[in-house]
Structures are given as structure tokens and as C-alpha cells.
Structure 1
Amino acid sequence: MRAQEITFLKLVQGDKQFQVPLYQRTYSWGREQLQRLWEDVGELVDQHLAGEPAAPHFLGSVVLAPGQIQAGGVQRWLVVDGQQRLTTLMLAFTALRDHLKEMGDARGVDRVHRQILVNEFHEGADHYRLLPTQADREAYTACVQSRADAGGGDNIGAAYRFFRGALTEGHEAGDAQWAATVETALKDLLSIVEITAEPGDNVYRIFESINNTGVGLSQSDLLRNYVFMLLPKRGERIYQELWLPMQRSLGPKNLELLVWLDLVVRGHYKTKQSEIYREQQKRLQPLTGDEDALQREIEQLAQRARRFLRIIDPARERSPALRAVLERLAAWGGQTHYPLTLHLLDLLDAGRTTPDDAAQALGYVESYLVRRLICQTPTTNLNRIFMEAPKELETDRPAAEAVKRFLSGRRRRWPSDEELREAVRTKPFYWSGRPPQRSYILRRLEESYAASEPVDFAKAALSVEHVLPQRPAPAWFDLLAEETEPNQTPQELHDLLVHTLGNLTLTGDNAKLSNHPFERKQQILDSSALRMNLEISSAERWGKTQILERADRLADRAVELWPGPIGGVKPTGEESPGWVELRAALVAMPSGTWTTYGDVAELIGSHPMPVGAYLGANTSVIGAYRVLTVEGRISQQFRWADGSDRPPPQELLASEGVRFDSLGRAHPSQRLSAAELATLLGRDVAQPAAHDPLPEGEDAAAAERFRAQLRENSPDAYAGVVAALDFWRRQGGHVTYGRYEETSCFPMLDLGTSRRPHLMWPVGIYPVSGTVEVVFQYLKTRSPFDDTEQRRELLNRLNKIDGIDLPEAKLELRPSFPVRVFAEHSDEICEVLDWFVGVAALDLARRG
């Protein structure tokens, strides 16, 4: 085998084709991996635009083996390893080509297409530079060919849509040279090691050996080995006295994190965690032969380790004020703030600030993070902001003032009081951040009431409760009907209010509260120990007026708890973040789907009227034609811009796979709700299945609540559902239940061990709303259904049942069908469940 480091452009140039063998898995990169790659590309682009020397970024290796060569044909290479990154880059180029087309850059479109994506003078399969596995081929060629169905609901389509969205967002923030610089970065600044096998090598054995290696050395392991190689005389003593205690107190992961933070707070803020060893080695190289200097370096790292322990274990901090804010940041979670926090502790221990000043500075950090979450400010560049902070803070003023001035910078987007108040009233807070962060904000708001006997949150098992239920009974809609605006339905008003902060509280009584009428909820909340619940229970009714009034009261408390930036006024002329979010959502929609003005309004915390006005004035927005009326019709106000040669919206949607009836209404199964749009944007909108993971135990009280709700709301479906669940148990599964507003049911399989459970479930059954969700979103992360083909097979088997019509575009979501159908076709459902268990068991046996 031979190896060489090469750029992506040089790798793919020429009449050649990279074929992914059938024994390899389908394309599986998700948002996390795509985001990491795009951040790397973004750094290269920024460096290039700033005129800084940009060293090629090492992306990894690609192992190739020569394939059959036919006279006059392309040179074929089998992709033994590296198909994920190779496919990802090809999809990034298809998105870039289509982005250049939107910009009107015909030469750029032609250049990318011919240089990267296709063998121009070959036809059929030979036309494509990359040929994925059979399961991915149709989705991939749709993207390369720019077909209407490009960007479907599978992983290939999701990656293409991710890059379309990233390019659109970056172009709006960049200058005229930005897209061209992205092309340069992708072609010439991503470094790949090409490893080529010789003819006759057993490529499958090579593949096995690459993918069955042991655990490699971590970055901190490599650094340790390098440092102590340079300490031949003092190494053993320094290891015992300094390195080993630090390693034991932090553990492997935190030690590696510390070594990276050490670089960041020194000003090397562009260093990636994958490059720790190389950067530290470069920094320490000049000290070779000077054991005194090397010992001082390790002593400084050990001191920084003790400060880092105060961040991850605030009980170690002696100052009460500083300990309190460190505890709040630990409760908030995440590592974003670590570089700035560690830098402030460095200043404190060096005597350059006081504990109270450091506490106030970190209070601004908390406020910055909380306000951005409530206002749903995009998290783009958030990590970079905190990594830059240690180097950028002004040193001629107190730390708290310096931090406030730094975070108040215009491009750092610290929301003003005005923006915060508006967001509390309108934004779907329940889809903001992660569940612990939402609970944290509600907890801090509750504590602001300063009750004489405060709740012990460490012991209380509280969860977020919707006062106006997510799935309300008819009585709630009767109440909302009294407050609707002209041309607004009670359902639309419900959707705009239900997830806002004014409608949310904390409670340990979710199961009791369920979706009861407000009078019943009042009785339960009145006995709560939480002051905010007593305030709710004192209301005479619970509708739009009360929710907005409570939102304003909570906003007053939020402004006091979390102070705003210097100036505190929303910048004039700045575009609303809601429109940025709208554009991102429309780009994220799979082909063959549609949504409504109301769904988009619910997502961004607006109203259908301004959404319609915005899209009417900006029909060039990618996917604008996919937004329809609530009946599924093209809006009469929608017009393409003058001079556009695009086909009518209904014709375009039909070419993507959207079905229309004779009255021109799009099929409801292909509609994306606001929650599904939020899911596609990476929001944490799913309620976790609160279940008992032990197969031998089912919660009897929860089971009875589920059966009672099913009998009450869908009596005709009761027998069929119970029969299917009994069948599931006979197949080795068990049944668990949710603890939310309605007692959902999950037929569960546990294919793991007592130490490492491997839980999966095919559906969730909701007895009040009368729906059965097929949980592709969860299955996507669980073998063997992380393979798109297995999820597609599940979809196809269910769609053979009369009354089930799940669109393929929702293979990464949670489409639903009526529980009535589940019950009426119980025998056919059981056949699908039997297949599901068999596939999961076979995968378990294969994995050993």
C-alpha cells in the first residue's frame, strides 16, 4: 500500500470513479458530524478572507483499491474506507453548485459540476465521480442531477439540505467573495491522506482490519508521552508529584479538556480539540533540554487543573458569591463558557481581580446564555465567542466590566430587554435549548418569588407542565374560541400560545394534571408548594389574556434576574432573528413536504399574517413555495418575482412528490408541523419517553391510566390495541408508559445488558389524541435502524396496511396514523411488530 497527502480537488480530478462496495453500510453522518466539518471549513474561509496563512485542515484518510478498468472507460476505485467523508464532501459540492445557481453564477455552477461531480464525457453510471451503495444511489444521483426530489428524508437528503442551509446563512452574513472562498476551502484547503492498495490485495480484509482496531491514544496521552520523554532526569518524580494526581482528580476526558483549555486561555483560541497534541508540542519544542522550564510548565498546568476542578465541582470554591454563580453555570450545563470561566479564575488566583468581581462577571455570562436561549438566538459562533474572550478582554478595567463590554459587542448578539420581553410573549420556549436548561430557567424564576419556605429543588422531582395542554380536550377550544382574531381558528391560537413561557410551569403532578379542564388543574395547583403555581391557580380562567399577562410578569422577573447588555436597546435596522430562522426551516424541509403559514409562525414566534407578507415579498427565499394555506392550497397572494421562469408552485411541488386532490389541496400526511420543522432544525422538541427500563416491571398505575384514557377517547380501538400489546409481550418485549399530559404507551425492546441497556421502540401510542407515532427520529440512532434502508422497510411494511400513509420524506421524523387503524388492523400490525423484533434480534446476534 502507498500513501500520500492530497487535496480533495487533486483526489477526484480526472476520468475516475469512486465506488462504495456493497459490504459497506449506507451513508450515516448526522447533524453533529456535518456541523463539525462546516465549522472547520468556516475557520478556513475566515482565515483566507482575512489574508492569514491558512494551513490545510487534515480531514482524515481515504483507503482505495483499484477496480476494473475498461478500455475507453473511467478509472474505477473501490472505497475501502472513508466513504462517509468522501460522500459528505461530494454533497457539500452539490449544495455549493446549487447555491451558485441561486446567485446567478453560471460559470461557477459549470465549474463545480464538471471539476468535481461528474465525468463530463461519460454516460450512465460512469457519469458520476462517486457511486454510493445501491441503497443510497437514487438519493445521491437526485442531488447531482438537481432533480426535484433532491434533498429527501434520508441521510443523503438531510446532508444536502444541511449544506444548502449553511451556505445560505453564511452568504447572508458574508461578502461578495464568501462563496468563492468556500469553494477554494473545499477544493484546496482540506487535506486527505490517500492510501492506495495494490492489485490483488484482499480489500475486505483491509476494511476489517481498519474497522476493528483497538482504542487509540488520546491527545493527552500523546502529550504526556512527549513531555516525559523530554524529562529523562526528573520525569519519574514530576510524574508522581504533579501529573498523576492531576490525572486521577480529573479523569481522562476532563484531563484532555484541560489540556485544550490551557491552549485556549493562552490565546491559541483557534485550536481544535483534535489538534491539542500538535499545538502543545509546537509550543513546548523550544524548551527541549531545559528541564527547569518544562517542570514549570507542568506546575502551571497542575495549578490550572485545580481551578478547573472548581468549575466542574463548585463546592471546592471558597467564596460564597463565586461558588453560587459557578453552581448556576454547572446546573445550566455545557462547556461553552469554560474558556472564559477558567481565565477569570486565573485572574483571581493571580490577584488581578476579586471573588465578587469574578462572580459578577460570570453573572453576565449566565445572563448572556439565558437571554440568547429565551430569544432563540442562533448558536452559530457561540463557542468561538467564548474561546476568543480570554485574549480579547480589556485589561485596563475590572473583570466584570470587561466581560460585559466584550459580550455587548454588536456581532455577539446579547438580546436587549425589548427583545427579551417580546420573546417571552411569543417564542415557543418549550423548544428552546435542552430540557435541563428550560427547567433551570423556570426554577430561577420560581426562586425569584423568595418564598418563606423555598422548595428543595435538589430533592423535588419536577418537570415542565403546560397549563393549556398540548393536546387539549374540546372544552379548552371552546374557551379559546372567545379570544380568536378574525380568520383565526382556536387551534391556531392554541398553537401560538401553548409552548410560550407564559403557559409553562414546574410541577411534580403531570400525570394528575393531564389535559383536565382548568378548574381541575386549579385545584391541584392550589396545593403546590411553588409560588408560581399558586399565582396560576388564582386566575378565574386560562386563555390568551391570562397567558400573555403572566408572560409579562415573568419577563419583568427575567429582566431583573438576567441583566442586559450595555446600551440595552435592540440595534436599529437589524433583521429579526425570526426571519433567519424561517429561511433555515424552509431550506431544511425534505422534498415532497409542505407546511403552512401558521406552522411557520408558531415556530418563529410570529403570526401567519406577517409570515405571509414576508414570503409574498421574498418569493426567492429557498422553499417559499412550500408554505401553503391551512387547507393545503397555494396562497392567492403568492407570485414569483417578475422575470422568473419557474413553473407554478403546485406543479413544482407535484414534481417533488407532493400529492394534490382534485380541489388543489396538498395531502395532509405530507404536511410538516411546527414541531417537525423544529426537529429538522436540531431543536430538542421531543418529550423523552419516561419509562422504566427494567423488562420485568411495568408501572401498574400508569398502565391503568393509559387503558382508562383509551377506553374514554377511543373505545372502539381498545380491544385491538390491547391485543397488539399482549402480542408484543409474547415476543419478548415489555410495555412502558409516559408521565405527561396524556399517558402515552411504548412497546419496548431491551436488547442490551444489565450494565448497558439497548432500548428501542417502534411506535408511541397516544390515547387522548388518538394517534400512533412511528418513531423514525429515535430509531435513526439505534442499530440496525440507523441504516436508512431498515427504516424505509419499516415504513413500506406499515404503508401496505389500509389506512396508513407515511411519507418517505419523514424518515427522520415521527409521522403518525390514527389509533383506530392500529386497532382495526391489529393482526397486520402484529406481523410488522414480529418483523421488527426479528430484525433487531438478528442484529444483536450479528454484533455478538
Structure 2
Amino acid sequence: MQAKETLFADLVQGRAQQFQVPLYQRTYSWTEKQLTQLWTDILEQAELLESGEKASTHFLGSVVLAPSPQNEATFPRWLVVDGQQRLTTLSLALAAIRDHIADAEPDEAERIDEEYLINKRRNGDDHFRLLPTQADRAQFAAYVRGPLSAQSAGGSVAAAYGFFRRKLVEAADPAAPQDVFRIEQAITARLTLVAVTAERGDNVHRIFESLNNTGLKLSQADLLRNYLFMRLPTRGEHVYETYWLPLQGSLSNDELEQLMWLQLVLDGDDRVRRQDLYAAQQQRFERGEVSEADIEAYIKELYRRSHLFRRLLHPEEEPDEAVRARLHRLDTWQAQVTYPALMLLLDRRERGELDSADTARAMSYVESFLVRRMMCRVPTNNLNRIFQAVPGQLPLDVPVAEGLHQLLSAENRFWPDDDELREKVRTAPFYKFGRGHQRKMVLQRLEESYEHPEPVDFAAAQLTVEHVMPQSPGDEWIRMLSKDVVDGESAEDLHSRLQHTLGNLTLTAVNSELSNHPFGRKQGLLEGSHLEMNRRIAATQRWGAQEILTRSDELADRAIALWPAPLRGVGRAERSRDWNLAHQVLAALPHGTWTSYGDLAAFIGSGAQAVGTHLANTPGVANAYRVLTSEGKVSASFRWTHQDAGGDVRDRLTADGVRFTASGAADPTQRLSADGLASLVGGGDDDRTDSQEKTAQCAPKSQEGETRADPFYLQLVAENAPGRRFFRQLAEDDSPETVVAVRALFARWEELGGGVYHPDSNKFTGASLTLDEAGIPDRVISPMGLTVGCGLGGTAYVSLQSLAVQEPFTDRVLRAEFLRRLNELEGVDLQEKWPGPDPSFPLSVLEKDRNRELLVETLTWFRDRWEGRDTD
């Protein structure tokens, strides 16, 4: 067995060869967490390349190879015993770079392909340098060779490829662009691997077991502790009992490791990563003669700072009220990224360089920096670097608080000023920014700013974020909004644009009671609230566009007063980052999806017309042609830019898996709404319970990433394998009574002349009730679909967006009547949301005979409307 250090380029470049992942290996399983860490390492190495620093490469891990039984002298084949996750990830990253530059640099894209991804003169499976296990092979091949197919959508391989496409667009931000070829070089020539090559006859499984044993690895803190006490032959016992034992008792091992890292950062090492803590500290000790007294002094200082660090972890231990309040808020925000700056402030206060009032003021700058950036949707990818650099970059010629204010206001820190904050409060979808607890904290601080004489106990109150104008508006809301529309904007577009803005959000403990009711009913509930902001909402006569914008302006004034602004003239973020966010989400559009100008505008807080103008005048935007009108049509003003590939737009969309209805519109079930777009770039989570979250994940996806197979394209089957799978899974999650009820429903539907279609797919287990005309694909309609799985019970859903493009249900009155009839079933309350998820109800309601009869009557009414439509 041979082992040597190598680079990815050295491993895979050269003559034609192949690395095969054996069948017994697990499938590709890296998640965004591992991908994000790798991307951070890659960018760090790319920056080192650009600066010319002679720093060490980054060690990525080991790769264990063994000769394949299929090995040939002219075509070496290797079994990947260990390291397939790393090799697959790096290959997908290079494929993403290739596709990112394909239009602008076709020769370079071809070079990347031939050097790292393919064996140019080989066919079949031999064409690929890396051959994943069979479960991943087809999808990996789709991204390496293309073209993409419907089978390539979804799964970990697709997610990893999409992650890198999105990050490459983010790295090309005009405000701080990064060279894509530096990134390529960092991947291929700065990430080191230890390649362990086994000979024939070596027990490769034993090697694998030794590398992946079940024992717990030593942490960085464990390694450093052992190193320190080996250097204390005479003072070790005293130091251990006096400092280390209390230190170890007050912090967990993970917290202790974090403190050790912070100590390095506070001492000026602004580039060290936590996973390199042991090597970095060891290197510092070995630069010169280090005595036992030096080691003891280090541990003593660690012990002193542990008391300060505990105040970040447990703000209640901070004695000063003002500082304690700010630490509590930062802890609620989960702002661990700011620890270097907070530790510096507490450390300087303990040294007497600033008092508690100045410490609290400096912390208010940190809080404002985070809050304003979140409210203006500034990406968080550089926060670690910003705060880690604070101890080393803090100006020395001004007081600490003023120095921090100046540092955070500097160029490329992107701390939004008052004008930008005011604009974003009016226009941006705040509900989709940040995380649920962060949005809640912003609203809580705004409520506190009213200084009500009887303030709410927020710690005890069970408050959630509520949309005053609901996310699923009824007819009364739509009629009211229709009076506010301008410039040809529809009421639905106006709702989509304003629903998630800060002016339409509040806090309440009666979210379920407020629900989707008209404003008149909500007024009474809000009027009785203890929150001042709710009483002010209740005092208005109506709740339309102007009222929401007026409240937005009021809240913007309060936000500006609460969270200090950056210093003027030091620098502010460029507006281009909003468009960069749009570019990122377009690059991440999954196969078989499209979006509209209005959806993209609502996602970034802009206008549909501005989005259209930007895309028309900006060359090189990935997937720009997949932005259509709200009706699913190519805009009459769409033009390819001179740098784009061109061609027939509909042909390109079809190749990307977008389907078209008989009217020539893109399939509305494949449309991604603003909410769906937010999910592609890790947009803010919401305040749903675990049960609600599982329901959302298991529900049929009409607009959020994974396209549901619909009746136009379902394979006609009776009780075949997919049908058996449907009832088997239904029986696993639902009662026998529900299973019997669903079977009875299917039988009654077939008596009415309908059909039951099951998608032949491992990704989707469900059924659709359908009606067709002589089997013609574009003359098929589905009143209802059913899904099972996820342990939460079966669900029935109505694809209103699909119905809305099929006669006679293009008539909104008929769709509303259909929902009204369904809502007569006990336990059913369906609302139309446009755009939005399909309304649904649990299949368990069909256990009641009366509900089942009402449903059959409703389906009969549906069939009669379909058969009586005008087909001319």
C-alpha cells in the first residue's frame, strides 16, 4: 500500500482513466452544510492565490484507491474505497464552473471538461472520469455530459450542482467580484488530498474500516489541551487544579474550543479557522523558546476570558442592565458570528478602556449592522470575515466605540443607510428575509419603541408573526385591492408585491383566529390587543395598498431611530447586489420550472417592469429566458442579448423541461412563485410548527422547486405497480377506514366516466382523478389529486392554477363555486391563493359517509361543467 500527498488536478489529469465508486458505497449525501464549508475553504484559497501569499494549501482529506477488476493497461480503472463524497463534490463544482463560463469562454469550458470530467475519446460509461454508484450515475451523467432531463431534477447531486451555480453567480457580484478561474485553480491546485493506493491482494475493506472507525475523534480542544499539559512537566498539576478544572467545569468542550479560537482572533490572527485551531496555536508556541511560565500565562488568560465568554452564552450573568439587554437581543438573534467583536468590547471594558455605557453603545452598532443588513437582504456570506477581522483592524487613534462604528461603516461592509432602509421597508418582502426568530425580534423592538405604559411580557406571550392582509386573500380582499391597482397591475400582482412587506406584518397571539378573514372581522380582534401596533392598525377604516405603505413609512422612521446608521462618506453597498440576488436565484432554477416577472420582482422587492428592463439589457444572466409573463407566455418585448445563445425561446424552454398547455402557455404547475424562489437560495424560514413543516415538505409541490407530474403527462394505469404503491403507503399512514373510503371514491369516480391516473415515479406517490376527451393529451383535466406519505396522513389537493388555464374553469366564478362546494364537506376549508400552494384537505374526512356523498356530488357538478364547455 502506498500513500502520498496529491492535488485533485494531479489525481485526475493526464491520460484517460476512471475512478469507479463501488456498489456497496453509500449514495452521494453531502448537504448544504458540508458544501458551504467547502465553498468557504475554496474562496479562502482563491483569495490567497490572488494576494500572492505563500500560505499552506488546505487539506481536504484522504482518498483510498484500489485497482478495479476491470483495469486495463491502456485505460486504468480505480475503485474508490474512500473519498467518493469529496471527488463527486469537486467534479460537480468544476461542472458548474464549466457551465457558468460556457457562453463567454467556450474554449475554457471545453478545457475544464476534458481535463477533469471526461475521457474525450471514450464512449458509454467510460466517457466519465468519475463513475458514481449506480443510484447516482444517471443524474451525475446528466450534469457532466447533459443535456439535462426530467430524471436529473431533485436529489443530492442536483442540489450540489445548483449550490455551486448559485455561489458562482454570487461570487461574480460587481461590488466585490471574484475571478472564476482563481476559484477553479483553488479547487484543482490548492486542495490537497492524501491518496492511499492499495495493491492487488490488499484488504481494502480493512483499510476502509480503519479510516471510518466508530470511535469519537479528538476535538481541537482535546489536542490542544494534551499539547499544553505535555509542556508543563513541573507546573501541570497546579495549573490544572487552579485554572483548567474550573475552566472545563464552566464551559462545554465545544464552548472551550470556541474560546480557544476566539483567543487567537483577539490576539490578532484574523484568518485562522476553528478547525485549524490546534495547528495554529501550536505554531505560535513553537516560533521561539516557550517556557512553562508562558504556557501557564496562556491558560490563565484563557481562564480570565472564560468569564467574559460566558456572558455571551448566558447574558443574564452580565451585571450592567444596558449591556445585558443588548447581549440578550444578540443572543436571541443567534449572532455567534459577532463573538470576536463582542469579546473585544467586554475585554477592553475589563481593561478599563471603555465604560459600560460605551460598551452598550458599541453593541448597538453591532445589532444595527445585523438588523439593517437583514432588513435590506444583504447576503450574510461575508459576516464571519467581517467580524473576525475586527480585533486586528480596529482603529487605534479613536475610542473603541467610535472605532467600531467607523470600521463597520467602511467600504464593502454594506451597512445600509437610512435611505436604503426606508426604501426596503416599503418594497421588500421582509417576511422572506432572515429567520423566523429574527423577524419576530424586529417586530418586538418596533412594538417596544411605542413605550406603552403597560408593556407586553414578550418572554411569556406566545406571539407569532401575522399577515394583516392574508397570504390567501378571499374575494373581499381582492375586490378591495382592485381599487388600488395602477399601471395595469392586477389585484393579484399587488397582493403578491405587498403581502410580505413589513407594513403588512404584526405580532399576535391569535393568529389562527385572525386567519384569512376580511379586515372588518380582524379589526375587532386587533382592537382588543395589548400591542400598540395592533391598536393602530385596528383604528384604520380599511387595509389596502396606501394603508400598508403609510404604516411602512411609520415603521421605517422607528427602525431608523432604533438602529443607528453607518457613518456617512465611509462607504455603502451598491444597488447592484439586488440584481445579483436575482441572478443567483435564476441560476438555481430547477429543471422543469419557470417564473414570472412579477414573481421575481416580488422576490427582490422591485417592480415587474424594472425586472424586464434589467433582463433585457443585461447579457449573460443564466436562465433569463425562463422568466415569462404571469400568463406563462414569452413577453412580446423579450430579446436575446448579443452575448446570449439565442434561438427559439419555446424550444429552449421545452429542452429545460417546461411543458406547454393547449393554449400555448407554460404549465402553471411548474411556475415558481416569489416564495418558491426564496426557497432556492435558503430564504428565510417561517414560524411553522414541526408538524406543519413536515406537511409542507410532503404536500404536492406546484410551485416550489419539485414539479408535480400532472394529468397531461401521467401514464395511464389501472391497479398496476404505482397504484399498489399508492394504497400500500396510504395504509401505512391512514386508518383502514380512510383506505376503504378512498377506494370507494375511486369506484364512484369511474362510474361517472372518470379515470384514475398514477404517476410512475419513485419521487411522487399519488393519484389524480381525471377526465379526458378521446384520450387526447391536451384534452385532459383533473379536478383533484391525492398524495400519501410522510407519516402525516394522505391529502387531497386541487390544482387551481392548472384549472385556471383550461376551459371552462378559466372563469374565476366557476373555480370559486368549485371550492364553495368542496367547503361544504365537514372539516374542509379551501381558499384560492394566486400564486400559491394548492389548497388541500386530509383524506381522513372521507371516512364520513356524508362527506363522501357531498364530494361525489361536487365531482359530478365538475364533470357536467367540463362536458358542457364550449370546445370551438
Superposed counterparts of 1:245-284, under 5 Å: 245-284=246-285
Superposed counterparts of 1:507-546, under 5 Å: 507-546=508-547
Give the match for residue 865 of structure 2. none
State whether residues 357 and 398 of structure 1, in contact with CA within 8 Å, keep that contact through their aligned partners in structure 2. Answer: no
Q: Deviations over 1:323-347 (max 9, x none)?
A: 2211221122131110011011111
Q: CA deviation at 1:155?
A: 2.0
State whether residues 374 and 423 of structure 1, in contact with CA within 8 Å, keep that contact through their aligned partners in structure 2. Answer: yes
Residue 818 (structure 1) aligned with residue 819 (structure 2): no
Q: Deviations over 1:424-467 (max 9, x none)?
A: 11111111111111110000000000010111111111111111
Letter in 1 for 2:659: R
Q: Deviations over 1:400-423 (max 9, x none)?
A: 110111011120000010000011
Q: What is the CA–CA distance in structure 2 between the aligned matches of 1:165 and 1:643, rounded to whole Å? A: 20
Contiguous gaps of at least 5 residues in structure 2? 694-725, 740-758, 771-781, 788-794, 800-821, 823-838, 848-872
Give the match for residue 610 of structure 2. 610
Task: Report SS of the residue matched to 1:136.
Answer: helix
Q: What is the CA–CA distance in structure 2 between the aligned matches of 1:335 and 1:175, rounded to whole Å? A: 25
Letter in 1 for 2:614: Y
Superposed counterparts of 1:175-574, under 5 Å: 178-204=179-205, 206-208=207-209, 210-286=211-287, 290-567=291-568, 574=574
Q: Deviations over 1:467-517 (max 9, x none)?
A: 111112221111111111232221111111111110111111111111111
State whether residues 46 and 183 of structure 2, in contact with CA within 8 Å, keep that contact through their aligned partners in structure 1. Answer: yes
Q: CA deviation at 1:11?
A: 1.2
Give the match for residue 752 of structure 1. none
Letter in 1 for 2:94: F
Give the match for residue 589 of structure 1. 589
Superposed counterparts of 1:647-662, under 5 Å: 647-662=647-662
Q: What is the CA–CA distance in structure 2 between the aligned matches of 1:461 and 1:826, rounded to whole Å? A: 30
Letter in 1 for 2:62: S
Letter in 2 for 1:798: G
Q: Deviations over 1:173-231 (max 9, x none)?
A: 48998222222211111011112233234445544554442111111011001100111
State whether residues 427 and 604 of structure 1, in contact with CA within 8 Å, keep that contact through their aligned partners in structure 2. Answer: yes
Which segment drifts farther, 603-612 or 660-669? 660-669
Going from structure 1 to structure 2, the CA distance change for 1:660 and 1:806 (only over 3 Å counts) comes to: farther
State whether residues 418 and 569 of structure 1, in contact with CA within 8 Å, keep that contact through their aligned partners in structure 2. Answer: no
Choose the corresponding residue for 1:797, options 749, 754, 765.
765
Superposed counterparts of 1:737-748, under 5 Å: none
Q: CA deviation at 1:118?
A: 1.2
Q: What is the CA–CA distance in structure 2 between the aligned matches of 1:613 and 1:423, rounded to whole Å? A: 20
Q: What is the CA–CA distance in structure 2 between the aligned matches of 1:309 and 1:806, rounded to whole Å? A: 52
Going from structure 1 to structure 2, the CA distance change for 1:12 and 1:692 (only over 3 Å counts) comes to: closer
Q: CA deviation at 1:158?
A: 2.0
Q: What is the CA–CA distance in structure 1 between the aligned matches of 2:194 and 2:436, rounded to whole Å? A: 41
Q: What is the CA–CA distance in structure 2 between the aligned matches of 1:339 and 1:448, rounded to whole Å? A: 29
Q: CA deviation at 1:801?
A: 6.8
Going from structure 1 to structure 2, the CA distance change for 1:175 and 1:240 (only over 3 Å counts) comes to: closer
Residue 123 (structure 1) aligned with residue 123 (structure 2): yes
Q: What is the CA–CA distance in structure 2 between the aligned matches of 1:367 and 1:529, rounded to whole Å? A: 27
The TM-score, its normalising length taken from structure 2, stands at 0.80
Q: RMSD over aligned Cα, in angstroms?
A: 3.1
Q: CA deviation at 1:86?
A: 0.9
Going from structure 1 to structure 2, the CA distance change for 1:173 and 1:32 (only over 3 Å counts) comes to: farther
The TM-score, its normalising length taken from structure 1, stands at 0.82
Give the match for residue 599 of structure 2. 599
Going from structure 1 to structure 2, the CA distance change for 1:569 and 1:236 (only over 3 Å counts) comes to: closer
Going from structure 1 to structure 2, the CA distance change for 1:641 and 1:44 (only over 3 Å counts) comes to: same
State whether residues 375 and 427 of structure 1, in contact with CA within 8 Å, keep that contact through their aligned partners in structure 2. Answer: yes
Give the match for residue 6 of structure 2. 6
Task: Report SS of the residue matched to 2:389.
Answer: helix
Letter in 2 for 1:610: A
State whether residues 795 and 806 of structure 1, in contact with CA within 8 Å, keep that contact through their aligned partners in structure 2. Answer: no
Going from structure 1 to structure 2, the CA distance change for 1:552 and 1:792 (only over 3 Å counts) comes to: farther
Q: CA deviation at 1:687?
A: 4.5
Q: What is the CA–CA distance in structure 2 between the aligned matches of 1:504 and 1:7, rounded to whole Å? A: 52
Q: What is the CA–CA distance in structure 1 between the aligned matches of 2:691 and 2:31, rounded to whole Å? A: 26
State whether residues 158 and 590 of structure 1, in contact with CA within 8 Å, keep that contact through their aligned partners in structure 2. Answer: no
Give the match for residue 620 of structure 1. 620
Q: What is the CA–CA distance in structure 2 between the aligned matches of 1:215 and 1:166, rounded to whole Å? A: 33
State whether residues 460 and 508 of structure 1, in contact with CA within 8 Å, keep that contact through their aligned partners in structure 2. Answer: yes
Going from structure 1 to structure 2, the CA distance change for 1:646 and 1:136 (only over 3 Å counts) comes to: farther
Corresponding residue pairs, total: 737
State whether residues 801 and 825 of structure 1, in contact with CA within 8 Å, keep that contact through their aligned partners in structure 2. Answer: no
Task: Report SS of the residue matched to 2:412.
Answer: helix
Determine what percentage of the aligned residue pairs are the same residue: 45
Going from structure 1 to structure 2, the CA distance change for 1:569 and 1:282 (only over 3 Å counts) comes to: closer
Indicate the structure (1 or 2) with the bigger Cα radius of gyration. Answer: 2
Which segment drifts farther, 84-93 or 13-22? 13-22
State whether residues 675 and 685 of structure 1, in contact with CA within 8 Å, keep that contact through their aligned partners in structure 2. Answer: no
Letter in 2 for 1:659: R
Superposed counterparts of 1:713-792, under 5 Å: 731=732
State whether residues 68 and 75 of structure 1, in contact with CA within 8 Å, keep that contact through their aligned partners in structure 2. Answer: no
Give the match for residue 102 of structure 1. 103
Task: Report SS of the residue matched to 2:166.
Answer: helix
Q: What is the CA–CA distance in structure 2 between the aligned matches of 1:25 and 1:68, rounded to whole Å? A: 20
Going from structure 1 to structure 2, the CA distance change for 1:279 and 1:261 (only over 3 Å counts) comes to: same
Q: What is the CA–CA distance in structure 1 between the aligned matches of 2:564 and 2:111, rounded to whole Å? A: 51
Which segment drifts farther, 796-805 or 501-510? 796-805
Q: What is the CA–CA distance in structure 1 between the aligned matches of 2:692 and 2:447, rounded to whole Å? A: 29
Going from structure 1 to structure 2, the CA distance change for 1:569 and 1:553 (only over 3 Å counts) comes to: farther
Q: Deviations over 1:536-568 (max 9, x none)?
A: 111111111111100100000000000111117
Q: What is the CA–CA distance in structure 1 between the aligned matches of 2:20 and 2:176, rounded to whole Å? A: 37
Which segment drifts farther, 560-569 or 671-680? 560-569
Going from structure 1 to structure 2, the CA distance change for 1:827 and 1:426 (only over 3 Å counts) comes to: closer
Task: Report SS of the residue matched to 2:251.
Answer: helix
Q: CA deviation at 1:15?
A: 2.3
Give the match for residue 632 of structure 2. 632
Going from structure 1 to structure 2, the CA distance change for 1:391 and 1:538 (only over 3 Å counts) comes to: same
Q: What is the CA–CA distance in structure 1 between the aligned matches of 2:278 and 2:431, rounded to whole Å? A: 40
Going from structure 1 to structure 2, the CA distance change for 1:805 and 1:115 (only over 3 Å counts) comes to: farther
State whether residues 67 and 79 of structure 2, in contact with CA within 8 Å, keep that contact through their aligned partners in structure 1. Answer: yes
Going from structure 1 to structure 2, the CA distance change for 1:823 and 1:175 (only over 3 Å counts) comes to: closer
Task: Report SS of the residue matched to 1:465.
Answer: strand
State whether residues 451 and 531 of structure 1, in contact with CA within 8 Å, keep that contact through their aligned partners in structure 2. Answer: yes
Q: What is the CA–CA distance in structure 1 between the aligned matches of 2:374 and 2:304, rounded to whole Å? A: 33
Q: What is the CA–CA distance in structure 2 between the aligned matches of 1:228 and 1:11, rounded to whole Å? A: 40
Q: What is the CA–CA distance in structure 1 between the aligned matches of 2:308 and 2:760, rounded to whole Å? A: 50
Q: Deviations over 1:132-159 (max 9, x none)?
A: 1222222211221242449733321222
Q: What is the CA–CA distance in structure 2 between the aligned matches of 1:71 and 1:25, rounded to whole Å? A: 26
Contiguous gaps of at least 5 residues in structure 1? 694-724, 735-746, 748-790, 808-814, 830-848
Going from structure 1 to structure 2, the CA distance change for 1:692 and 1:662 (only over 3 Å counts) comes to: closer
Letter in 2 for 1:43: E
Give the match for residue 841 of structure 1. none
Give the match for residue 714 of structure 1. none
Give the match for residue 836 of structure 1. none
